[in-house]
């Protein structure tokens, strides 16, 4: 187990990894904290786990756990540890954000359209046909251009099909 050297998520070190180094080959990226907390000798509390990853204390123990679970990481153990630290940072921000917006309606067509367009762009999904009235006041191509300019994306994605619209009016969010 990795020792905890601090009791709060303060004074954390920025993970030493660039966008170009992500993803580290052979090492997973986690979408939810429950998938990773408690693994690699990390605590089950996100604050504490981030302190553990940020600290250089017992670094060797962490690297051994990573290499044991993911032998394909090979000589990239240090980068995998840094990537894991960044992954945990973003998981914590995501959880905080999702809690904050839980009370928001997410019903306005502009909001649902932005979310759907961005997701479609990320995955290269074809979108279901929709009634153009919903976005009639927004230049859709400009919206697509902005979304596509934001990047970076996680890998190869397809272009949105011409005329694709992301929202079907009359169907409530579930």
Closest CA to 4 of 45, 64, 65, 63: 45
Contacting residue, 154, 158, 161, 163, with another protein by CB under 8 A:
154
Half-sphere exposure in the Cβ direction for 26 (13 Å, CA): 16
Site string for another protein, 32-71 (x = CB under 8 A): x---------------------x-----------------
Instruction: Determine the interface stretch with another protein among 22-30, 36-44, 62-70, 72-80 (rule: CB under 8 A).
Output: 22-30
Q: How far apart are CA 118 and CA 160, in angstroms?
A: 10
Closer to another protein by Cβ: residue 4 or 143: 143
CA angle 121, 127, 128 (to 5 degrees): 165
Rounded to a whole number of angstroms, the distance between the first and last alpha carbons of the chain is 42
Greatest Cα pair distance, the chain, in angstroms, is 59
Q: Which of 34, 69, 90, 132 binds another protein (CB under 8 A)?
A: 90
Residue 159 as a binder of another protein (CB under 8 A): the answer is no
The DSSP call for residue 70 is -
Site string for another protein, 95-134 (x = CB under 8 A): -xxx-xx--xxx-xxxxx-xxx-xxx-xx-x-xx-x----
Q: Which of 4, 6, 23, 61 binds another protein (CB under 8 A)?
A: 23
């Amino acid at each position: 187990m990795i020792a905890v050297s601090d009791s709060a998520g303060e004074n954390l070190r920025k993970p030493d990894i660039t966008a170009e180094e992500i993803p580290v080959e052979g090492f997973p990226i986690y979408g939810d904290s429950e998938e990773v907390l408690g693994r690699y000798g990390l605590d089950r509390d996100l604050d504490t786990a981030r302190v553990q990853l940020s600290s250089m204390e017992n670094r060797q123990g962490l690297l051994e756990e990573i290499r044991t679970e993911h032998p394909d990481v090979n000589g990239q153990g240090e980068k995998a540890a840094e990537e894991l630290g960044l992954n945990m940072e973003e998981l914590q921000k995501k959880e905080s954000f999702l809690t904050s917006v839980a009370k928001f309606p997410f019903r306005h067509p502009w909001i649902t359209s932005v979310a759907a367009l961005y997701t479609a762009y990320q995955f290269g999904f074809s979108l279901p046909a929709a009634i153009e009235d919903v976005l009639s006041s927004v230049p859709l191509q400009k919206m697509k251009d902005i979304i596509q300019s934001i990047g970076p994306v996680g890998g190869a994605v397809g272009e949105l099909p011409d005329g694709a619209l992301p929202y079907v009016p009359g169907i409530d969010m579930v």
